[in-house]
Amino acid sequence: MNKVLQLWRIATHPRELRMALSGLGVRLAGDDALGGLTDAETAALVRWAKEPVVDAFVEIGTLFGLTARTVAQLTGKRVVAVDNFCWNPFGLTSAQHEAFTRKILSGGGVELVRGDAEPFLASLSGRMDPSRALVFLDGSHAYADVKREIELCKAQCVGIVAGHDFGNPRFGVTRAVREVFGEPDEVVGMCWIKRAVR
């Protein structure tokens, strides 16, 4: 099987990969090692994206675009996926990573934007009505980056801000969310949401 097909199988069947690696005695550090969400987290994200106040779903840090593709398929909403392709768990070059993600997203109703989170969020009002957007933060998990991204969402008057890795002690997400918002409105697994963030 060629490398692209192997990567496709891995990217679209992360649970099978985890089980196979586990059988070999290899332990991954949770779902975040492959960049995936659990089924419960994905269901919550789809539910949040279906809220009537949401016209567009923006994913910051799309990795391979699987979450963005699922949200597009299950909601029919406008979906924009943003990534700078600086990291992936398979050691692909940035160009290979982007090409692979574009292949996964082709024909799936997702607009893929190559770029960094901060400039994209700072220009959000030129792309859509931010008050009718759900921005899902799952790129950098460093405290300073997450806090800045949340502040940019507030400055752009984003209607709903959500993200991943709330409660994960390895990252600065929880601290950043609590400093800006207090407690989230809801947490499912490690996905968090804050509505009407103005």
Domains and CATH numbers, the chain: 36-195 (3.40.50.150)
Please give the pLDDT value at position 90.
Answer: 87
Phi (first) and psi of residue 139, to 5 degrees: -100, -105
* Three-state SS sequence of the chain: CCHHHHHHHHHHCHHHHHHHHHHCCCCCCCHHHCCCCCHHHHHHHHHHHCCCCCCEEEEECCCCCHHHHHHHHHHCCEEEEEECCCCCCCCCCHHHHHHHHHHHHCCCCEEEEECCHHHHHHCHHHCCCHHHEEEEECCCCCHHHHHHHHHHHHHCCCCEEEECCCCCCCCCHHHHHHHHHCCCCEEECCEEEEECCC
C-alpha pair distances (Å), 146 with each of 26, 137, 143: 30, 8, 5
Measure the CA angle with vertex 175, ends 41 and 49; round to 5°.
Answer: 30
| pLDDT score, position 30 | 43
What is the model's pLDDT at position 29? 43
pTM: 0.85
- pLDDT the model gives residue 198: 62
The amino acid present at 123, given as its one-letter code, is: S
What the block records as the tokens of 34 is 């492959």
Count the alpha carbons within 13 Å of 86 in the hemisphere toward its beta carbon.
Answer: 10
Give the C-alpha separation, 105 to 123, whole Å: 23
Whole-angstrom distance, CA of residue 191 vs CA of residue 69: 17
pLDDT of residue 6: 59
The C-alpha atoms of residue 27 and residue 110 are separated, in whole angstroms, by 32
> Which residues of the chain register pLDDT less than 70?
1-35, 198
